Each structure stands twice: as C-alpha cells, then as structure tokens.
C-alpha cells in the first residue's frame, strides 16, 4: 500500500485554495495544474474551453479520475444608485453564506476589494430590522473599499455588469487535522488526486490500466467532464465533496462512496470494486446517497458515454458554505484512488 504524504497533501491544498477560480474565470488554476502535471510522466493537453486532460499509460485510457477546478463565486449584476454592486451567484449557493464575505472584483482597470453585506447592514441604524430582512441575492450588495457613494463613482472605478467577483477562501489548518475554508469543493479533491500521482511516481508504479485525469472547469454550472473524456474510458471516478449532515452517512474521518445522487444510481460493479479495495487495505470508507447533488459523473451520464461511474468524496460539513473537512478523510480518499490505479 502506498501511503500518502500528509504534509505535502496539506501544502498542496493550501496553495490551491489561494488561487481564485470561480466558474467562468479559471485560467489561473488551469495554468497552475498544467505546471504541476509537468512533473509527472503524463501526456497533458488542454481543450479550447480550458479543461485539462492528463493521460498515463500505453494505449487509449480505459479508466478516468475527474476533479473540477472551478469553485463558487459571484458576478456583478448591476450597480445600485448608492454605488454598491448587486450580485448574481456563479454556481448554486445561498446568499446566507455570502453575507460578510470579503471579496475582490476583477475590473478592466484592475482589482477592487470589498465586503458582501445585507441591504440593512447596520445594527445601530436598523436594530431588529437586520434580523427581519429576507435572505437572497437581491438582499445583498457589495460594499466597495473605495470612496463610492453613487453609481457614477463605481463606474469610474471600472465596475460594470459582468465583472467577476472572487470570494476570499479564508483557509485555516488546525493542529488536530481539521481544515476549514471556503472552496474545499473542489480544491481538496485536486490535492488528493495530485498526491495520488505523487505516490505512484515515487513508488515507480505505472497505473495498472491506462488512465486519464480530467480537470474540468465548469462542474459548478453542470457542464463538467461531459465534453472532454476520451470515448475509450470504461470506468470513471469523480472526486468531489461529500456532505455531512443529520440525514447523511458521510463523516469527516472517512472517504465516502456515493451510491446515488440527483443523476441516479452509480455503477454497482465499480463501487463494489472500490469497497473491496478499501476493505483489503484498511481504508476507512462509508456509503452514502445524495439527493441535491451533481458531479462530473452527471455530465458524462447526460452526454451518453458508455462508461461506468462512481463518486468518491471527502466528508465535509457545511458544503457550499463555510466548509470543514479533516485530514483523515483526505488521506482515505487519496489512498483509495491510489489503490484503484494500482489494481488490475
């Protein structure tokens, strides 16, 4: 069994979290992934839409691992009369989790910092009214850290509809193994896949079955891997977040095998193989079923691929919000991916 390097995995994760990559603005993370992949014995290509595909092994790839590089974010919808931009979400997430977030607006003139606030943001001015206002994207605005009091002031800064708004991830790595940050979905999956590649390379092992690694850039808006996988791929594992909640089996200490999500059931053949590998190598896993969930597997299914699919997730609390996972879950995911790549 190839043991993941925990410290390297966490270092990689921290570096990835610091690269803004909201869906629709992923060029920087794509460039970073291409740089990282150059260290491995893989053939790398990038499509016109920016998706990155790395292939390892002789002949057409029959296995694939997918992990998306894009995250949630926001975009300027319009500029209010008070000079504060109204926002529209990139990806599906609640404005409840956006309130109080520090953010950067990317304009044609440069970057402008700010804070996302509810329309009634002063306790001294509104008292109980702050608690009584509705939750929603039309109920928040972006306070710009610049002398702005009118729409004209904001326009003079370069603020205009369509500007990308990057949310600060605010990562925190605790000594007890917990990792707290926005956008663990899906930077943690990227770190796990990269660590699996490191493990194989250091052990001098080539995947037992030719494999490709798909790094997609629009999973949060439903596109995912459906336009980039080679048709030779027979088995696909999507590595993504696993929600921890009162009605879910996932937890932050184990890897999750997702048997069903909003796209339907995944392959029992592939999931059984993963369960047997986990049992044989004492990798802690748990089964789960997700109702409000899509992954890169979903887009592949919809695209009509003749491909078996499975979902492998890292247990995370407060998904698409103030996310938290644990190193143990990340290590379990990495170990399972490595075991699968080494299996015949």
**Residues classed as catalytic:** 219
Residue with tokens 């932050």: 252
185 is in an annotated binding site: yes
DSSP state of 4: P
On whether 68 is known to bind a ligand per the annotation, the reply is yes
Among 195, 223, 236, 230, residue whose Cα is nearest residue 50: 223
Which DSSP letter does residue 22 get? B
Place of tokens 């605005």: 141
- Fill in the DSSP letter of residue 84: P
The closest of 144, 167, 166 to 79, measured between CA atoms, is 144
How far from chain centre, in Å, is Cα 238? 11
Give me the phi and psi of 194, to 5 degrees please: -65, -35
Helix ranges (H only) for the chain are: 6-17, 27-37, 123-126, 129-132, 151-157, 184-203, 268-280, 296-302, 327-342
Is 240 annotated among the ligand-binding residues?
yes
Q: At what angle do helices 184-203 and 327-342 cross, to 10 degrees?
A: 50
Distance CA 330, CA 335 (A): 9
Cβ neighbour number for residue 265 with a 10 Å cutoff: 12
DSSP, res 196:
H
49 and 227 Cβ atoms separated by less than 8 Å: yes
Give the annotated binding-site residues: 68, 185, 220, 240, 320
Give the annotated binding-site residues for Zn(2+): 68, 185, 220, 240, 320
């Amino acid at each position: 069994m190839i043991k993941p390097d925990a410290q390297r995995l966490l270092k990689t994760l921290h570096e990835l979290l610091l690269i803004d990559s909201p869906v629709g603005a992923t060029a920087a993370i794509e460039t970073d992934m291409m740089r990282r992949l150059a260290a491995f014995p893989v053939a790398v290509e990038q499509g016109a839409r920016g998706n990155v595909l790395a292939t390892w092994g002789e002949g057409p790839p029959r296995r694939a691992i997918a992990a998306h590089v894009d995250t949630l974010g926001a975009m300027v919808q319009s500029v209010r009369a008070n000079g504060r931009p109204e926002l529209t979400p990139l990806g599906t997430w609640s404005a409840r989790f956006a309130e109080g977030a520090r953010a950067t607006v990317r304009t044609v003139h440069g970057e402008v910092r700010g804070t996302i606030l509810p329309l009634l943001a002063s306790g001294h001015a509104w008292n109980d009214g702050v608690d009584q206002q509705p939750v929603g994207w039309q109920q928040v605005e972006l306070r710009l850290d610049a002398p702005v009091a009118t729409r004209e002031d904001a326009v003079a800064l370069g603020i205009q509809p369509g500007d990308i708004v990057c949310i600060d991830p605010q990562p925190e790595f605790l000594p007890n193994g917990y990792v707290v940050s926005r956008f663990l979905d899906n930077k943690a999956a990227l770190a796990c896949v990269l660590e699996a590649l490191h493990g194989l390379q250091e052990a001098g092992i080539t995947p037992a079955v030719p494999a490709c690694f798909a790094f997609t850039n629009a999973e949060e808006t439903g596109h995912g891997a459906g336009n980039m996988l080679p048709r030779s791929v027979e088995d696909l594992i999507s590595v993504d977040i696993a929600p921890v909640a009162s009605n879910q089996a996932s937890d932050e200490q184990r890897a999750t095998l997702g048997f069903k999500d909003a796209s339907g059931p995944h392959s029992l053949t592939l999931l059984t193989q993963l369960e047997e590998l986990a049992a044989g190598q004492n990798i802690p896993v748990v089964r789960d079923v997700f109702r409000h969930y899509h992954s890169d597997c979903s887009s592949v299914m919809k695209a009509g691929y003749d491909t078996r699919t499975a979902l492998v997730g890292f247990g995370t609390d407060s998904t698409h919000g103030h996310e938290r996972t644990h190193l143990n879950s990340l290590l379990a995911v990495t170990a399972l991916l490595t075991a699968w790549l080494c299996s015949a």
